[in-house]
Amino acid sequence: MMRNKIGLITGLISIGLITFLLTSHISAPRTGYVLIEELFSKFEMKKEMERKFNYTKNQRQKILDSLAIQLRIFANKLDAEEIKAKKEIEAYNYMREEYYQKQHSFEEDNKQLSSQYDREILSQLNQYVKDFGKKNNYQYIFGNDANGSLMYALDENNLTPEVINYINKRYSGKE
């Protein structure tokens, strides 16, 4: 009889311990982290936007290069003339000013376009990471960036490759 009580108590303790372990494991939040720089650099949308940005930037540079050639030709023509006409000098100065204004304008436009693309990419990236977290039952996904927001984490909690795969499938419409 005593043996049965000890066996019963041991069994109840074991069941209680197993229940406790399972409950504490189930109720523990599922967490992971991503390497933000790697996530950003390998995001297909970022690569696509970068190609679009470089195309636009190169087209603008071609316009500036063309204006610079015209300006040089005009300057060479003026240098070759012994007597420089006032109207030609004014035209040259106007053309030079137009070049510098266009150059400044293109630089500002490039900065704004780059910032706009970065905002769009980050917005989409954040949404996809949020969707990934919901789909895979994560309560927290931390970002590890150069600012040290995550000082240490086990490598097994690094979700970066899995999230990169997910966001790129999502972006291409395959998820």
Compute mean pLDDT per 10 residues along the chain, 175 residues long, and list them: 47 45 58 90 96 98 96 89 84 95 98 97 92 89 75 78 92 88
Residue of 169, 163, 175 lying closest to 40 (CA atoms):
163
Give 158's DSSP letter.
Answer: B
Contact 68, 99 (CB under 8 A): yes
- The pLDDT assigned to 175 comes to 76
- The pLDDT assigned to 44 comes to 96
Residue 168: both structure tokens together: 């790129």
Can you tell me the distance from the alpha carbon of 84 to that of 80, in angstroms, rounded to the nearest whole number? Answer: 9
- The pLDDT assigned to 22 comes to 46
Whether CATH 3.30.910.20 fits 2-172: yes
The interaxial angle of helices 44-80 and 160-172, nearest 10 deg, is 70
Residue 81: both structure tokens together: 């003339």
Residue of 64, 119, 118, 124 lying closest to 95 (CA atoms):
64
- The pLDDT assigned to 101 comes to 97
Question: Could you tell me the residue ranges of all domains in the chain?
Answer: 2-172
